[in-house]
Amino acid sequence: MRVLGIDPGIGRCGFGLIEASGASSKALDFGVITTEVDAPLPARLKELYDSLTTVFEETKPEMIAVEKLFFSKNITTGIAVAEARGIVLLVAEQKGLPVYEYTPNEIKKCLTGYGSATKTQMGEMVRVNLGLEKKPKPDDAADALAVAIVCGISYKLSGEEKYKFSNSRRK
């Protein structure tokens, strides 16, 4: 099962593709999509849309795992992440792919057993889970791989699509 994890962001959007089979997962691809900081918002959203469309087409995932939006102290950052998430969900819907969502706390608990794990701890658990020699860099890519791993684990354990994005027309 090919799972594409996405850590949404307008300036930096992490992606990570894994192959989840049985009790193990393997990293197939990961990276970060960046947009020009000084570009107008509509141009940045289009750039993110075009880049995500290319990533989806090149990686050929069977499902998408995305980090749920959580409320941050900086409302401007929260709005930008929400706009990026909207682009992720749109591209997934256009490609006919199921979307699974996980909160940052769920991701951390699943991988480390601790909902307040640090970026360093999360990066190390991603490295261990995927059998990588080094922690994936940058952190946005590591976060995307983390959500993909959690999706693979949750999907296999649940035996059903209980984490599927609820607004999807596909049943």
Q: For residue 126, what are its two tokens?
A: 């991603």
Residue from 50, 62, 124, 140 carrying the catalytic annotation: 140
Give the domain ranges of the chain: 2-158
The pLDDT score that the predictor gives to residue 72 is: 60
Pairing of strands 63-67, 99-102: parallel
Which of 20, 28, 31 lies closest to 139 in space, CA to CA? 31
CATH label, 2-158, candidates 3.40.50.450, 3.30.420.10, 3.10.180.10, 3.90.740.10: 3.30.420.10
Number of other residues whose CB lies within 10 A of the CB of residue 91: 22
Note if 7 is an active site residue: yes
Q: For residue 154, what are its two tokens?
A: 């949750």
Q: For residue 67, what are its two tokens?
A: 């980090």
Residue from 7, 101, 139, 143 carrying the catalytic annotation: 7
The pLDDT score that the predictor gives to residue 106 is: 93
Q: For residue 99, what are its two tokens?
A: 């979307």
The pLDDT score that the predictor gives to residue 159 is: 56
Note if 29 is an active site residue: no
Note if 106 is an active site residue: no
pLDDT, one tens digit per residue, over 117-171 is 999 999 999 999 999 999 999 999 999 999 999 999 887 665 544 444 443 433 3
Between residues 168 and 47, the one the model is more confident about: 47
Number of other residues whose CB lies within 10 A of the CB of residue 30: 25
DSSP 3: E
Mean pLDDT of 4-16: 96
Summary mean pLDDT of the chain: 88
Residues 1, 155: contact at Cβ < 8 Å? yes
Residue from 58, 67, 83, 161 carrying the catalytic annotation: 67
Sorted by sequence, the CB contacts under 8 Å of residue 170 that are 6+ apart come out as 96, 98
The pLDDT score that the predictor gives to residue 32 is: 98
